[in-house]
Amino acid sequence: MATAIITGASQGIGACIAKRLAKDGFDVAINHYPSDGDKEKALAVAEECRAFGVKAECYAADVSKFDQCEEMVKNIKADFGTIDALVNNAGITKDTLLARMTEDIYDAVIAVNQKSVYNMMKLVCNVMGKQRSGKIVNVSSVAGLYGNPGQVNYSASKAAIIGMTKSVAKEYGKRNITCNAVAPGLIRTPMTDVLSDELKAKMLEAVALKRYGEPEEIASVVSFLVSENASYITGQVIEISGGLSM
């Protein structure tokens, strides 16, 4: 059975992706931040995944730290035997205008959102390269495509992910590894809940479909990208925003 790793999968989009891939028949390795609260949520997600008859295990790791990612990937490979799909979903926001943004706030978002993608792709591509197969999906954002006031750090991290996605797609295509990105818009998650009502209203007004997206709608696109139906798609960024950019 194929195995998928999903980072930041204790809640929100990551949890929905884990459950959707379990429904598709993937064994799932659920990464969560090493805290009691995140562990409890991840264990609940794993139980829901197992209901589909697959293997699901939880792995605590701060994915911004290379050594923790290295240990986690080693354990997942030992536990599951193969790593066939990687979904880099872990992310945080620390929003403020550039004039008020401290170096610490900038660096924290870059470390979690962008450095984690480097860490995980470098380690997992070593496994996939030997297998000569694999599928990677990186969760970017419309902020990485168009920018967003108060999100210089977040936009920078998500734009970097797009460049990394295209580079890895070119480097590893010869080994039958695809690498794509999804760019969600205004999705109903705990992360968007913290945005101001004013900003959410302004963004919603710009959405052609005039509604929030749901995490399940992101998960369905990820499901496609890690399936054999997407075997000839790589280096692409799929915007899932209800027409936000039009």
Catalytic residues: 154
* Residues contacting 1, CB < 8 A, separation 6+: 25, 26, 27, 54, 55
8 A C-beta contact, residue 203 and residue 186: yes
Euclidean distance between CA atoms 189 and 210, whole angstroms: 17
Residues forming a β-bridge with 240: 184
* Residues contacting 90, CB < 8 A, separation 6+: 7, 8, 14, 31, 33, 63, 112, 113, 116
Neighbours of 107 (CB within 10 A): 14
Structure token digits, residue 178 = 């695809």
Beta strands in the chain (DSSP E): 3-6, 27-32, 56-60, 85-88, 134-139, 177-184, 237-240
Structure token digits, residue 84 = 């066939």
Residues forming a β-bridge with 179: 136
Strands across the sheet containing 177-184:
56-60, 27-32, 3-6, 85-88, 134-139, 177-184, 237-240
